[in-house]
Structure 1
């Protein structure tokens, strides 16, 4: 059940949040908001795959 919630969140993130890899964002120069979004997306993806 928990995994299903994360899979739904991952699909929602893909549709709503920006893709920083497609924009070639340099993480060393990213703002705190961009880093927070990146970390959140990474956390959701990790939990969706487990």
Structure 2
């Protein structure tokens, strides 16, 4: 299930690291997306 969500995230959600986002200046909704992607990615790999 998590592997499918990880693939959907890769397609739909923006990649902030490619955009050069500074984490210390990120807005709360961007931090929420980063946290969600991290959670799903770690579950898919483990």
Q: TM-score, normalised by structure 2?
A: 0.98
Q: Which structure has the greater CA radius of gyration?
A: 1
CA displacement at 1:36 relative to structure 2: 0.1
Distance 2:5 2:40 in 1: 7
User: 2:36 aligned with 1:36, yes or no?
Assistant: no
Aligned residues: 46
- The alignment's C-alpha RMSD in Å is 0.3
Runs of 4+ in 1 over 3 A off after TM superposition: none
Which runs of no fewer than 5 residues in structure 2 stay unpaired?
none
